[in-house]
A and B are shown apart, each in its own frame.
Chain A
Amino acid sequence: MRELICICCPRGCRLTVDDDLNVTGNFCPRGVAYGKSEVTNPTRVVTSTVRIEGSDLAMCPVKTSEPIKKGNIFKCMEEINKIHLVAPVHIGDVIIHNVCGEEGIDVIATRNMEKL
């Protein structure tokens, strides 16, 4: 049995996951999914920034489109840090396809960066 704090939202429910993966203490169904995945295959959304030229700020914020494996977080940062963008970039634009080889998970822009 493990006691966890759900990180799906800022509510932070205190979950209990038993050996048969039954989750209690959750406010919403996302807590059940989080509780199960956290004890079997923990994942996180990574948010960061990439260099951008030609816009009014030096950095464009990005995120992984889905949570990636926790063990891949620093590898994901390495891939993100290799990228240079040129404005314009818009929310949802794909910056990296299949990040860290995770099928179907992209790194996408999270801010509209217009060309100056």
Chain B
Amino acid sequence: MREVELAIIGGGSAGLSAAVSAYDAGVRDIVILEKGPFLGGILNQCIHNGFGLTEFKEELTGPEFAARFIAQAKERNIEYHLNSAVSSLTKDKVLSYMNPEEGAVQIKAKAVVMAAGCYERSAGAIAIPGDRPAGILTAGQAQKFLNEQGYMVGKRVFILGSGDIGLIMARRMTLEGAKVLGVAELCAWSNGLNRNMVQCLYDYDIPLYLSHTVSRCEGKGRLERVIISEVDERKQPIPGTEKVFDCDTLVLSIGLLPNNDLLNNLGIPQGRSRGSEVNEKFETSIPGIFSAGNVLHVHDLVDNVVEEARVAGKAAAEYILGTSEEVENDITVVPGNMIGYVVPAKVSSKGDDKVSVKFRVREPSKNVYIVYELNGKQIKKVFKPVIIPSEMEIQALPKSLFNGESGTLTVSLIKKEEVK
């Protein structure tokens, strides 16, 4: 069996960044396994702009951002295989993959970076009542058809879910001549970035129906209409609030799920983000198996993905080269009041550096403090006039705050008036 030092699962933004970072830290024997026909992953179909403001200090489109990382990997002659889906991974880091050139292959790696991104929640997952005609597809599918293959997916379109890809597709299909009738969002708030609300919906007068869902699809062969209803506080449709939209297409933008089966199958504990639990070096409970990017937790910004993967790639290199220091990850980080999830799950109390804590709140809040407590003692608080679930929070905590103490670090959201 071929042996390599580092195997990277996924050749998108996270995989490329981890590979480049590991190379620059001294590892040469790297293999990237990409299931699609191109490097760059989902960025290739995200033709809109807004990528790279932190990483490159300029505003790029998705394919442009991808091209820069592809170039960095190619300059370093990092080996990659396309059309190569990894079908299994063992605790001993044996990977099985398959592609048209090599057939079925097994390789054994000293370290693995999981960077397989996420997939879209589909129509089946939410079981919309009614017919099952053609014309119901996810926002990412619509994006791929339109932006890479040049197929218009519909003429009269309704969108369920106000996630960013849904909003971006609302604009994109409008520009290509479709009539986008509206966007229904189950929550009482938008789940997209503010800038996308403005430049994708407001600019084109596309109505947003908050606290609404599609309660029925109707059509023989092709979708003919959707019926939307207002929902109550338990998110159940309220009878008598139905609105009918005649449309041929329903685009779903109802969430992304980490594509993390390979690590889940190894019994690595899962966090509330549905990615694996990792420490501050993005290493899982199995030494030498790392995870970064959207497979760990869904990011808003690719700039944050490549930064996270850079840390994971460097840590993987240190593991391979034997230069990583033995540290005990003696602090468990847990989400407290109103916090959806926190990454990483484990950190070390030792060291004089900073640890980057990332999390999302469960619902929009105003005039709150984010409070960090170690074993019940407040060690830091940060005031936020506005905080929303669609924007990931990132806080660098200096380890000096831990004072060498191990235990449980809780991140909570507390109303201004309740904070001591």
Tell yes or no: A36 within 8 A of B by CB: no
Interface residue total, chain B, C-beta cutoff 8 A: 31
Interface residue total, chain A, C-beta cutoff 8 A: 31
A92's closest neighbor in chain B, by CB? B64
B59's closest neighbor in chain A, by CB? A9
A10's closest neighbor in chain B, by CB? B193
Residues in B neighbouring A7, C-beta threshold 8 A: 195, 198-199
A-B contact count (CB 8 A): 80
> Which of A16-24, A57-65, A96-104 interfaces with chain B?
A57-65
The reply to whether B148 and A9 form a contact with Cβ atoms under 8 Å apart is no
Residues in B neighbouring A51, C-beta threshold 8 A: 150
Tell yes or no: B61 within 8 A of A by CB: yes
Tell yes or no: B175 within 8 A of A by CB: yes
The reply to whether A111 and B44 form a contact with Cβ atoms under 8 Å apart is yes
Tell yes or no: A56 within 8 A of B by CB: yes
Complex partner residue of A5 from B198, B300, B391, CB under 8 angstroms: B198
Most chain A Cβ neighbours within 10 Å, of B44, B60, B193, B300: B193
The reply to whether B175 and A110 form a contact with Cβ atoms under 8 Å apart is no
Residues in A neighbouring B60, C-beta threshold 8 A: 110
B304's closest neighbor in chain A, by CB? A10
Which chain A residues (1-37) contact chain B, with CB distance < 8 Å?
A: 4-12, 14
Tell yes or no: B336 within 8 A of A by CB: no
Complex partner residue of A59 from B49, B148, B203, B300, CB under 8 angstroms: B148
Decide yes or no: A46 and B175 within 8 Å by CB, A5-B197, A7-B195, A57-B148 being known contacts.
Answer: yes
Closest chain-B Cβ to A80's Cβ sits at a distance in Å of: 9
The reply to whether B194 and A5 form a contact with Cβ atoms under 8 Å apart is yes
Tell yes or no: A47 within 8 A of B by CB: yes
Tell yes or no: A95 within 8 A of B by CB: no
The reply to whether A91 and B150 form a contact with Cβ atoms under 8 Å apart is no
Residues in B neighbouring A9, C-beta threshold 8 A: 50, 53, 59, 195
Proximity string of chain B (39-57) to chain A, C-beta cutoff 8 Å, 1 when within and 0 when not: 0000010011110010000
A63's closest neighbor in chain B, by CB? B61
Tell yes or no: A44 within 8 A of B by CB: yes
The reply to whether B67 and A77 form a contact with Cβ atoms under 8 Å apart is no
Q: Please, how many angstroms separate the alpha-carbon atoms of A51 and B176 in the complex?
A: 13
Residues in A neighbouring B53, C-beta threshold 8 A: 9-10
Closest chain-A Cβ to B101's Cβ sits at a distance in Å of: 16
Closest chain-B Cβ to A75's Cβ sits at a distance in Å of: 12
- In the A-B complex, the 9 residue pairs with the smallest Cβ-Cβ separation, listed nearest first, are A12-B194, A111-B63, A61-B47, A7-B195, A58-B150, A110-B61, A5-B194, A59-B150, A9-B53
Residues of A within 8 A of B (CB): 4-12, 14, 44-49, 51, 56-59, 61, 63, 70, 73-74, 77, 91, 110-112
A selection of 26 A-B contacts at a CB cut-off of 8 Å is: A5-B197, A6-B195, A7-B195, A7-B198, A9-B50, A10-B50, A10-B300, A12-B193, A14-B386, A44-B203, A45-B59, A46-B175, A47-B61, A48-B47, A49-B147, A49-B150, A57-B148, A61-B61, A61-B147, A63-B47, A73-B175, A74-B175, A91-B63, A110-B63, A110-B64, A111-B44
